[in-house]
Amino acid sequence: MKITLLCALGMSTSLLVEKMKTAAENRDINAEINAHSVDDIDSQLASADVILLGPQIRYKKNALYKKAEEANTPIDIIDMRAYGTTDGEKVLDQALKLIK
């Protein structure tokens, strides 16, 4: 499964991505998890199983949700507390719930 996190530049989520990868490995979940700039949404929609948005770009929610709906890709905004504490377990759970 491919989980994509989008933020303003694709850099602020890098620590969270690493913690999510560790959480997935600890649970024997085969997941490709990456962070990208929100500007890459079109290319990410073509391959991602789920997209999570950094809370700092929630102002783009309407346009991004519309694109994701058209691509039939689940999308959500990362829980702000989990994002702030870089809780990889919780954000991984959020992604998994969206896929099911």
CA angle 2/64/20 to nearest 5° reads 30
Residues 35, 43: Cα–Cα separation, whole Å? 13
CA-CA distances (angstroms) from residue 82 to 67, 70, 71? 25, 28, 26
Question: Across the strands, what pairs with 19?
Answer: none
32 is catalytic: no
Residues 11, 5: Cα–Cα separation, whole Å? 10
Catalytic residue from among 7, 17, 23, 64: 7
Q: Catalytic site residues?
A: 7
